[in-house]
Amino acid sequence: MNRKLPRLVPIVMLVVLSAFGATSTTPAYDKHHPRVAPRDSKPHGPGMTYEEWAAALLQWVYSQPVDASPLSDTTGTLTQQAESGKVWFLPGPSELVPQPQKLFLTMPAGTALFFSPLGFYGAGPTPFCPTPEQCVDFVKSHPLAGGVAAQDVEIDGVPVSNIDQFLILSPVVPLHVPANGFWVDFVGKPGPFTFGVFGGFGLFIRPLAPGQHVIHARTTARFGRVAFEITYTITVTPCDDKLGDHECGDEQPDGGEGD
């Protein structure tokens, strides 16, 4: 099939990639948003770092079958079907669907979110990522890198400040891609991917109170002034109105270690 590779969003990872791997001398911001765990924390239960949550999102994306991939979701149905556990993953906007995207989800109280408003996925072995080390270099110095003109995220109408603090480069992680994986739809055969790296922005959003919430993100890239926009409208059900077999957990913010 002659279709574009998924997500110009990864290509638009025109972030200041040189920031990856740099040691910041700026203290972690604790006032960026009341629902977002601090950048230097290990939020929610397992005590995973932001880099580890970003890697887990990457593995989740690559593990989806082609007919159920959140990357081609236009309503929220596919994303919700792919979710499980106490932390749900929210990918950013996709070039495969019309912009802006508006997705609707229902989730049980006590569920945290890891949201990537902009991400670049490097996977190998491929010509661009023949080895894990070269894949890291590819993500850090993509030839199309030119910078993001603006990255704006709001949670329930409140902007997330200091968004650059949430620029992430994950460790290299193994990928388990099903035979009917999403990439078959683009290359006509199962992808050869066995390892990958995530680069981009990521926000760990602590459990939201029962009721309706809105997460909105807009990215404007210098590359042709391309704009991407996504809105998640999320209905959180109380613990006595469980969704499926998901067990309700603590509805209070969970900052975890380092919070």
The reported pLDDT for the residue numbered 11 is: 31
Domain membership of residue 105 (yes or no) is: yes
Lowest mean pLDDT among 1-10, 22-31, 41-50, 195-204: 1-10
The reported pLDDT for the residue numbered 154 is: 96
Q: What is the mean pLDDT of the chain?
A: 78
pLDDT above 70 as % of the chain: 70
Residue 177 binned pLDDT confidence (cut-offs 50, 70, 90):
confident
The reported pLDDT for the residue numbered 187 is: 57
- Which carries the bigger pLDDT value, residue 173 or residue 225? 173
Over residues 209-238, mean pLDDT: 88
pLDDT > 50? residue 37: yes
CA atoms within 13 A on the CB side of 228: 25
Domain membership of residue 254 (yes or no) is: no
Domain membership of residue 194 (yes or no) is: yes
Helices (H), the chain: 8-11, 50-62, 77-82, 132-140, 184-187
Question: How many domains is the chain built from?
Answer: 1
pLDDT in tens, 186-207: 555 656 789 999 988 999 999 9
Structural domain that includes position 68: 8-24+52-237
The reported pLDDT for the residue numbered 243 is: 47
What amino acid occupies position 35? R
Domain membership of residue 250 (yes or no) is: no
Domain membership of residue 34 (yes or no) is: no
List the beta bridge partners of residue 195. Answer: 124, 174
Q: Return the exposure string of 145-175: e unless at least 16 CB atoms fall within 10 Å of the residue's CB, then b.
A: bbebeebebebbeeebeebbbbbbbbebbeb
pLDDT above 90 as % of the chain: 46
Domain membership of residue 29 (yes or no) is: no
Find where tokens 């210098």 sit.
Answer: 222
Domain membership of residue 58 (yes or no) is: yes
- Which carries the bigger pLDDT value, residue 221 or residue 73? 73
Q: Cβ–Cβ contacts within 10 Å for residue 222, how many?
A: 14
pLDDT > 70? residue 41: yes
- Which carries the bigger pLDDT value, residue 181 or residue 84? 84
Residue 240 binned pLDDT confidence (cut-offs 50, 70, 90):
low
Domain membership of residue 214 (yes or no) is: yes
Give the Cα-Cα-Cα angle 57, 92, 100 (nearest 5 degrees): 160
The reported pLDDT for the residue numbered 38 is: 94
